[in-house]
Amino acid sequence: MISDINNLKQKSGWFILVGVILIVLGCLALGYQFIATVFSVYFIGTLLVIAGIAQALHSFSIKGFGQTALWAIMGILYIFIGLMSFFQPIAISSALTLVISFLLIMSGFTQILAAFNNRNLPSWGWILTSGIITLILGLIIISGWPYDSLWVLGMFLGVDLVFQGWAYIAIGFALKKQ
């Protein structure tokens, strides 16, 4: 346990650096909520198109009609959804808002469990606080869905990044003091 903290103490600067990066990104997302939302839709759409192309091309190297057809269909669906993000960003934003709300809820629970499992770390309460806030954000998103889908992703992403950044910075400075 003490050796784990000593190992982490050597990396305290990384905790602080990651925290600062998260806070800067969070402030940018808060300042440009709609742009952050649209950017996330386009970014995920791009990833889906690339994944779909790769999967569709890969499907031709698989032997057997059933497997080939299944992989090709999945690749085509990825491409279709990815392209839809460029042609129907509002609809995709609504769907992503719902998915992200579930992810934030799961992330909040995970952070809360991680905080309780790492109570020996200095300032572990910041991880707990971050988890609680992340959980609450996920629940708020679901309550306003689908009406708030154009701005809520950018705003809550920004808030989540800022609080996670503060948690990392607090842990980094607490480790330096050890």
Encode pLDDT of 106-159 as tens digits: 999 999 999 999 888 888 899 999 999 999 989 988 998 888 888 877 887 788
Read off the pLDDT band of 3 (50, 70, 90). Answer: low
- Say which residue, 46 or 9, is predicted with more confidence: 46
Contact 8, 121 (CB under 8 A): yes
Domain boundaries, the chain: 12-177
The confidence score (pLDDT) of residue 86 equals 93
- Model's pTM, two decimal places? 0.60
pLDDT at 39: 83
Residues 83 and 92 sit within 8 Å (Cβ to Cβ): no
Compute the average pLDDT of residues 161-168: 93
Helix (H) or strand (E) holding 124: helix 124-144
Q: In this model, does residue 100 exceed pLDDT 70?
A: yes
pLDDT reported for residue 32? 92
What integer pLDDT is reported at residue 37 of this predicted model?
Answer: 87
Give CA separation, 119 vs 41, 115, 123, 125, 170, in Å: 37, 6, 8, 8, 14
* DSSP conformational letter for 160: H
Residues 45-96 pLDDT 10s: 999 999 999 998 888 887 666 677 888 898 999 999 999 999 998 888 898 8
> What is the C-alpha to C-alpha distance for residues 5 and 96, in angstroms, rounded to an integer?
38
Predicted pLDDT at 149: 87
Residue 18: partners with Cβ closer than 8 Å, 6 or more residues away: 165, 168
Res 12: pLDDT: 86
pLDDT at 169: 95
Q: Greater confidence, 2 or 168? A: 168
pLDDT at 5 over 80: no
Mean pLDDT on 154-176 = 89
| Residue 133: predicted pLDDT | 93
User: In which element (H, E) is residue 135 found?
Assistant: helix 124-144
